[in-house]
Structure 1
Amino acid sequence: MSSDLLEALTALEKDKGISKEVLVDALEAALISAYKRNFDQAQNVRVDINEGLGQIKVYARKEVVEAVENNNLQISLEQAKGLNPHYQIGDTVEIEVTPRNFGRIAAQTAKQVVTQRVREAERGVIYSEFIDREDDIMTGIVQRIDHRFIYVDLGRVEALLPQSEQMPNETYHPHDRIKVYLTKVEDAKKGPMITVSRTHPGLLKRLFELEVPEIYDGTVEIKSISREAGDRSKIAVHAADPDVDAVGACVGQKGARVQTIVNELKGEKIDIVRWSEDPVTYVANALSPSKVVKVIVNEEGKATTVIVPDYQLSLAIGKRGQNARLAAKLTGWKIDIKSESEAEELGLFDDPPVQEADHEPVDEQTAESSTESEDFPENERD
């Protein structure tokens, strides 16, 4: 084996991140294949690569037997003892069979096999790198677009952004830089197949971790997220330290932190609310930016009835029921919203159920954490 080949293996190790041992193993397998194919041999052979001397030798491996039935695989005890008197029945004898003209044809075949093994090993390295990034966020560049996918360059691999994971309020163009959430990393034959998303709630979580140091270091915890990508999201946050304002940390000075995330999501509105162990407080907070008069809780059915001022009914429900739907998903509680007038007619103020509690209107800071709130006609409840 020439020193040039050894240097090439060293260069591959450095450039591709593939260990030299893997490459040498691939080369040995290639040379065995080349020997059997080009010299029409059915022997059990072993290839020895001496990196120090730059030599390659081929050895036929034969079992020591009393009576030889297959000359390619067996050797008689008498012949074996002629090589080494210590051989016994059942031992394996190695005899050098390196052809004089092992050179060009064998080397060409070996090169093809080694190239394939290098590709496989490189794919394995890339897969190992990206499987650790699953459920993480990365920045990529839009390469091309077809009717099924947007192909996003993540550096060493191209990821797929399916139509179902694209935000409806976004238009994508080649060379756009976008942040994506890695939802799945698969080890396919042609290399790692990576699926990414712009609609996954995990993208919102990772964006807050990047933008809010208190979330990254664990001072503030994201308890829950509900998201209708491209339109509106709600995120519940909590700080174990009572002196830490979890909502304020996420909003940032003059709304700078949350606005950065809103810009990344092309104007998606984000409501940041305080998480609470108390379902009454939590559900009321989740319905931000609407004000809440009372929350009545049915623990057994994990359901709540929320009473809001008449003029806040449409805001609490939201356009096409979005605010109530996101709040229910955020909290995990069913939410039935009633106006004060309806509640009085139904006697909800007079006939308390299993648990009820008055709730003060959501505090000003929490209400303002919504990036945008809309007042809809009071009769818009569908």
Structure 2
Amino acid sequence: MNKEFLDALTELEREKNISKEDIITAIEDAVELAYKKNYGNYPNVRVSVDREDGEVLVLMSKEVVEDVEDDMMEVSLEEARSYDSRYELGDIIEYQVDPKDFGRIAAQTAKQVVVQRIREAERRNSYDEFVNKQGEIITAKIERINNGTMFLSVGNSEGILPLSEQVKSESFNVGDRIKVYVIDVKKATKGPQIFLSRSHPGLVRRLFELEVPEIADGTVEIKGVAREAGSRTKIAVYSHDENVDPVGACVGNRGSRVQNIVDELFGEKIDIIVWDEDPAILISNVLRPAEVEGVYINYVSEKEKMATAVVPEQQLSLAIGREGQNVRLAARVSGWKIDIKSKAQLEESGFAFEEYEDEDDSSENAVNEVEQPDKSPAAEGQIAAEPAADEAAAPAEVEAEVEAGTEA
């Protein structure tokens, strides 16, 4: 090795973020092992790389003794003083040894160490890059498909899109470049394992953040997302500026913003809902397109929130949705367990329903209330939906599906 080799290590340190000193230390350790393997496993041998000119030195240490019994470990006082008259008994003297052909072995070993460290650094840097992208959207190219699982090129690494994280209604081929959501990054011997998703509700959240400037700058906040991938999503939004309509901002001029997201999701329907801190108004909003006549707050605790929503008889099916989808998504996005009843069902179960008109609120968000009875209802035909456990804990990450451009 020479100074040019050290200069190359300096370049690697800058380009690959590999410590030059760490590489040199690793070379010293590896060359020492190579020496002991080829020339004898002597404990008194060490290897040193000169930091100035790159020269590799093999040094053997010996103890200065009166009578030599092991010439590989000891040196006589007379011989030691032939090098330096200051040596005394018990001192340690180091010799430079240069066995035949060892220069070639040292060079090969050093090369192997450098290559190994470069690979390790690339894997480490790749992991560091993508572990910070968890919860983000990236664009990746599909390289191969094996038993339904897609493998995508992600920089110098490979991303995995399992069948369970794909959307049945979407179809992709090898060579396609697609947007995917990074759900997890794990360390592995051959590089980071990057797990991707097309079905995660976070994909919809990030698409809105990319498409809607008012969300990106914090004016409009996404309060919850509930998704059944490929079918429908409900997303609840709130404006921190009374002059900015959160639904209008998300929909865009002539629906352009939400349409871009719908196109990316291959036609998935998206309902955009106004979030309200008043639970009655919120529940009324999330059950749309059904018209809610009244909301009764049954029970609230740290672990559970339950409410009954009253809808017209002819809108029961609409409120519940096909196979319960509408009320299921409404529960997830709001964090409330919701029972759906008609006025007749409510009265049969012992509730007293009172219609009223709020003089201060003539808007479509005005909600009728239900008078609380002595006991909670247990009528037959009651429809209930509740948020999933993880979604209730973090409503922003709740699963969902949506109708494009539907306003709350």
Q: Same fold (TM over 0.5)?
A: yes
Q: Which residue of 1 aligns with 2:311?
A: 308
Cα deviation for residue 76 of structure 1 reads 9.0
1:82-105 per-position Cα deviation (integer Å, ceiling 9, x unaligned): 76858897x876543344532113
Q: Which residue of 2 aligns with 1:320?
A: 323
Q: Which residue of 2 aligns with 1:335?
A: 338
Find the aligned partners of 2:41 and 2:95 in 1 and give their Cα distance: 14
Where in structure 2 are the equivalents of 1:91-130 lying within 5 Å?
94-99=94-99, 101-130=101-130
Find the aligned partners of 2:223 and 2:89 in 1 and give their Cα distance: 71
Aligned pair in 2 of structure 1 residues 372, 104: CA closer, same or farther (>3 Å)?
Answer: same
The AA in structure 1 aligned to 2:341 is: K
Aligned pair in 2 of structure 1 residues 73, 305: CA closer, same or farther (>3 Å)?
Answer: farther
1:274-304 per-position Cα deviation (integer Å, ceiling 9, x unaligned): 2222111111111122221111111346211
The AA in structure 2 aligned to 1:166 is: Q
Cα deviation for residue 67 of structure 1 reads 11
1:213-262 per-position Cα deviation (integer Å, ceiling 9, x unaligned): 22222222211111111111111111223222222222211111111111
SS in 1 for 2:127: helix
Asked if 2 retains the 8 angstrom alpha-carbon contact of 1:135 and 1:183, the reply is yes
Q: Which consecutive unaligned segments of at least 5 residues does structure 1 have?
A: 353-357, 364-368, 374-382
SS in 2 for 1:299: strand
Q: Which residue of 2 aligns with 1:228?
A: 228
Aligned pair in 2 of structure 1 residues 297, 65: CA closer, same or farther (>3 Å)?
Answer: farther
Find the aligned partners of 2:64 and 2:21 in 1 and give their Cα distance: 31
- TM-score normalized by the length of structure 1: 0.83
**Relative contact order (alpha carbons < 8 A, sep ≥ 6): 1 or 2 greater?**
2
The AA in structure 2 aligned to 1:308 is: V
Cα deviation for residue 172 of structure 1 reads 1.5
Find the aligned partners of 2:217 and 2:63 in 1 and give their Cα distance: 64
Aligned pair in 2 of structure 1 residues 85, 177: CA closer, same or farther (>3 Å)?
Answer: same
Q: Which residue of 2 aligns with 1:41?
A: 41
Find the aligned partners of 1:69 and 1:289 in 2 and give their Cα distance: 97
Cα deviation for residue 119 of structure 1 reads 1.4
Cα deviation for residue 22 of structure 1 reads 3.6
Q: Which residue of 2 aligns with 1:176?
A: 176
Q: Which residue of 2 aligns with 1:259?
A: 259
- TM-score normalized by the length of structure 2: 0.78
Aligned pair in 2 of structure 1 residues 251, 39: CA closer, same or farther (>3 Å)?
Answer: same
Find the aligned partners of 1:88 and 1:280 in 2 and give their Cα distance: 93
Find the aligned partners of 1:293 and 1:77 in 2 and give their Cα distance: 106
Asked if 2 retains the 8 angstrom alpha-carbon contact of 1:30 and 1:114, the reply is no
The AA in structure 1 aligned to 2:113 is: V
The AA in structure 1 aligned to 2:319 is: A
The AA in structure 1 aligned to 2:128 is: S
Q: Which residue of 2 aligns with 1:53?
A: 53
Asked if 1 retains the 8 angstrom alpha-carbon contact of 2:268 and 2:403, the reply is no
Aligned pair in 2 of structure 1 residues 350, 295: CA closer, same or farther (>3 Å)?
Answer: closer
SS in 2 for 1:36: helix
